[in-house]
Amino acid sequence: MTEKTVEMTEASLFPGKRRLPQVNPVYFVLAALLCAIALSNPNFLEPPGYLNFLKRAAPLAILAAGQIYVIVSGGFDLSVGSVITLTVVGSSMLLDNNDDATWWVILVMFAIGAAVGLINGLVVSYLRVPSLIATLGMMITLNGAAFMWSSGSPRGYLPDTFRFFGRYNIKGMPLIQFLPVALIVLVVVGIALFWLMHRTNLGRLLHAIGDNPRAAQMSGVPVERIRIFAFVISSLSGVTAGILLGGFAGVSTDVGTGYELQAITATVIGGAQLLGGRGSVPASIAGALTLAAIFTLLNFIGLPKPTRDVVQGLILIVAVVLATYRRNRAGGR
């Protein structure tokens, strides 16, 4: 306690002696992991290697970039996994192998996603249900809805026009031979969400209500509306991830299972603070890539799936321990 005080006064007394601007350690971790992958598999350095890696990681990265909105505002969104499932199953039901329907089906899916986020936000803001329970209820409901919609046995096919986003590669690019559409989607979504979170007033308000909702409310922040907005963004990112996943995964009622926890894990690896007030979009995306890199690496080493679970669990804990340690040392809260 005393040490901390001393440290803080020192910093304020000698502003020139402040530490170097802190770089989020997730970027170093990610870089190290990518090097490790490259060492264990030189093919990774060829464009097909890393582009396919990015392509496969894109859905999780988009999901994490959306999830961070809810996390920063102080909540959780456990419903995104089921939003993915609903998107994939619902699209296959609506499309019914009809190529021409792709565009309006995608619009319908985004509308459903927005509605899901709106309901989550309204339930949390006005019914005062903790987001953990509200989105858990939504998860159970949507999974049931996906089952009902497909009568338990979804058709295993999506037309190529729909799979375009997840699967297609634009060929004949200079330098990198091909460019996956999924990667373009990731970059566009990532930049949009980055801008919204870190370059607009809205992002500042999100941080404010996550840090101290009471104080934010008293200073006139429309807490309810901002919170609803965060849930809508998260759900929409779920739909986007679902459309990409529909491109490379088959249609089944468990495509989205586990993605909600992976997305939260990714944001935590990216240094986000659970229960709000701290978090960044690029770091969350880096966190998602880190998670994907870990899986890829463990895959290369040839570890079976159960061992990968153990490693994921340990990494999750270690990431948080390190983040807490850093924060304590920096004298933050």
Partner 1 sequence: MISLANLARPFARERMERQAPAFLLAAAIMIYAVTALSLGLTRFLTPEAAISILNRSIALGMTAAGQTFAILVASIDLSVAHLISASAVLASVIMNGEPSMIIPAILASMTLGVVVGTLNGLLITKLEVNPLIATLGMSLVIQGCLASFYTSFSGRVPSEFQFFAYGEVSGLPFSLLVLIALVLLAWLLLRFTRFGSNIYSVGGNRDTARAAGIKTARVVVAAHIICSLCAALAGLYLASRLKSGSPWIGSEGAYDLESIAVVVIGGTVLSGGRGGIWGTTAGVVIFSLIDSIFNLAGIDAFAKQVMRGIIIVAAVAFYAVRSKRMVA
Residue 81 burial by Cβ neighbours in a 10 Å radius (0-12, 13-18, 19+):
buried
The Cα–Cα gap between 34 and 309 comes to 20
User: Residue 45: which region, alpha, beta or left (left: phi > 0; alpha: psi -120 to 50)?
Assistant: alpha
The Cα–Cα gap between 80 and 256 comes to 8
Residues 212-232, buried b or exposed e (16+ Cβ, 10 A)? ebeebeeeebebeebbbbbbb
**What is the smallest separation between the CB atom of 136 and partner 1, expressed in angstroms?**
6
Residue 42 or 313 having the CB closest to partner 1: 313
The Cα–Cα gap between 218 and 60 comes to 36
What separation in angstroms does the CA of 181 have from each of 55, 106, 265? 8, 16, 25
Residue 51 or 269 having the CB closest to partner 1: 269
Residue 67 or 73 having the CB closest to partner 1: 73
- The one-letter amino acid at 319: A
Contact 135, 79 (CB under 8 A): yes
**What is the smallest separation between the CB atom of 305 and partner 1, expressed in angstroms?**
7
Residue 134 or 185 having the CB closest to partner 1: 134
Contact 111, 173 (CB under 8 A): no
Residue 19 or 333 having the CB closest to partner 1: 333
Residue 167 or 327 having the CB closest to partner 1: 327
Residue 182 or 294 having the CB closest to partner 1: 294
**What is the smallest separation between the CB atom of 216 and partner 1, expressed in angstroms?**
9
Contact 224, 51 (CB under 8 A): no
**What is the smallest separation between the CB atom of 314 and partner 1, expressed in angstroms?**
6
- The one-letter amino acid at 189: V
Contact 161, 92 (CB under 8 A): no
**What is the smallest separation between the CB atom of 52 and partner 1, expressed in angstroms?**
26
Residue 180 or 210 having the CB closest to partner 1: 210
**What is the smallest separation between the CB atom of 69 and partner 1, expressed in angstroms?**
13
**What is the smallest separation between the CB atom of 328 and partner 1, expressed in angstroms?**
8
The site for partner 1 (CB under 8 A) is made up of: 73-76, 123-124, 126-134, 136-145, 147-148, 151-152, 210, 213-214, 217, 223, 261, 265, 268, 274-276, 304-314, 316-317, 320-321, 324, 328
**What is the smallest separation between the CB atom of 244 and partner 1, expressed in angstroms?**
24
Structure tokens given for 205: 């308000």
- The one-letter amino acid at 84: I
